[in-house]
């Protein structure tokens, strides 16, 4: 088996057994191809899967150094993700082919400062949800569609991929949605009346015949709506509203969690609503909420 065959087998495993998202698979495939190309240049030729077991710590560090200083240098977080992907690839080789790479245990990734979620305020979120309908250049059904997607992200705490995975058979929305998230994990998400109304308004205006198993949200020419369109829409809207660059589609999911926490929701419930595997991931929102309270205190207190 060649190293390229081994990479393809690993990606197949991630897609069908681990059920990772297409975006994650694309990123891992890119990392794997660059890694194997480096080894081929460094070692002077194509490598077999068995030869990957002899990769040294020095070679792995040299590859990371190259990624840090190339034409598109990676930051510390991206380098850490690159090393994690390479380790995952070699762990797969060890489990499935018996090709162990002990030298990789000697490689340490860069120190990454933990980043906190950056939610937007309730007023800013409401502004994003209503702004599509104020655009005179948009067809009414497109404005209703954009509002419906953004309302789903904020009202249900969905990721873009989760919102765009809904099919026509999912609407009209029930009282709760069964969402399949990262790693194939499913969760139940309550649906607010405002979310259901936004979806119904979009369906009443959109001009296409959508089969039950087809994507609920459609692009201008009738194809499935892309995540890139949602990102570009929010980028355009935040410019018109004067919002910071941190106002992204994913920030609406962060805002969903932060605003629930500020309203008194318990952390375990928020973890279930977001579909986090670990409570420690959800605990980051407590730091955001504490920072917000301290900021409000310092602004309002006469001694602040």
Q: What's the token pair of residue 153?
A: 């992200």
Burial category of 217 from C-beta neighbours within 10 Å (exposed 0-12, middle 13-18, buried 19 and up): buried
Residue 187 designated active-site: no
Long-range CB contacts (within 8 A, 24+) of 76-83: 76/110, 76/111, 76/112, 76/113, 77/112, 77/115, 79/109, 79/110, 80/109, 80/110, 80/112, 81/27, 81/31, 82/31, 83/107, 83/109
Which of the residues 130, 250, 284, 292 is marked catalytic? 250
Contact 237/131 with Cβ under 8 angstroms? Answer: yes
Is 111 a residue of the active site? no
Q: Which residues contact 88 (CB under 8 A, 6 or more apart)?
A: 10, 28
For the question of residue 276 being annotated catalytic, the response is yes
Q: Which of 67, 145, 159, 229 is catalytic?
A: 159
Q: Taking Cα atoms as reference points, which of 119, 30, 150 lies closest to residue 78?
A: 30
Annotated catalytic residue within 90, 147, 254, 276: 276
Rg (CA), the chain: 23
Active-site annotation holds for 285 = yes
DSSP of 94-110, one letter per residue? HHHH----GGGGG--PP
**Are the C-beta atoms of 183 and 223 separated by less than 8 Å?**
no
Tokens representing 8 are 């393809």
The HSE-up count of residue 175 (CA atoms within 13 Å, CB side) is 0
Catalytic residue, chosen from 187, 196, 253, 254, is: 253
Query: Is the peptide bond prior to 172 cis by the omega test (within 30 degrees of 0)?
Result: yes
- The question of whether 16 is a catalytic residue gets the answer no
Is 253 a residue of the active site? yes
**In angstroms, how far is the first alpha carbon of the chain from the final one?**
67
Catalytic residue among 28, 154, 202, 285: 285
Out of 168, 182, 236, 284, pick the active-site residue. Answer: 182
Active site residues: 159, 182, 250, 253, 276, 285
């Amino acid at each position: 088996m060649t190293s390229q065959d081994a990479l393809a087998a690993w990606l197949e495993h991630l897609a069908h057994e681990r059920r990772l998202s297409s975006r994650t698979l694309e990123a891992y495939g890119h990392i794997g191809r660059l890694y194997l190309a480096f080894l081929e240049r460094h070692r002077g030729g194509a490598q077999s899967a068995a030869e990957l077991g002899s990769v040294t710590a020095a070679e792995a560090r040299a590859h990371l150094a190259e990624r840090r200083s190339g034409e598109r240098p990676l930051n510390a977080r991206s380098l850490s993700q690159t090393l994690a992907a390479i380790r995952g690839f070699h762990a797969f080789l060890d489990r499935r082919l018996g090709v162990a790479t002990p030298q990789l245990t000697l490689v340490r990734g860069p120190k990454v400062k933990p980043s906190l979620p950056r939610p937007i305020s309730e007023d800013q979120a409401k502004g994003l949800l209503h702004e599509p309908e104020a655009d005179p250049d948009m067809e009414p059904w497109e404005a209703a569609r954009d509002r419906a997607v953004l309302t789903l992200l904020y009202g249900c705490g969905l990721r873009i991929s989760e919102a765009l995975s809904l099919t026509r058979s999912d609407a009209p929305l029930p009282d709760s949605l069964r969402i399949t998230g990262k790693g194939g994990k499913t969760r139940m998400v309550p649906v607010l009346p405002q979310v259901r109304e936004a979806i119904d308004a979009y369906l009443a205006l959109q001009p296409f015949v959508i089969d039950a198993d087809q994507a609920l949200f459609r692009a201008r020419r009738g194809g499935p709506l892309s995540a890139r369109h949602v990102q570009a829409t929010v980028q355009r809207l935040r410019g018109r509203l004067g919002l910071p660059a941190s106002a992204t589609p994913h920030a609406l999911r962060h805002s969903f969690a932060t605003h629930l926490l500020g309203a008194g929701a318990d952390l375990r419930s928020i973890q279930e609503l977001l579909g986090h595997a670990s409570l420690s991931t959800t605990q980051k929102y407590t730091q955001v909420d504490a920072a917000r309270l301290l900021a409000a205190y310092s602004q309002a207190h006469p001694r602040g």
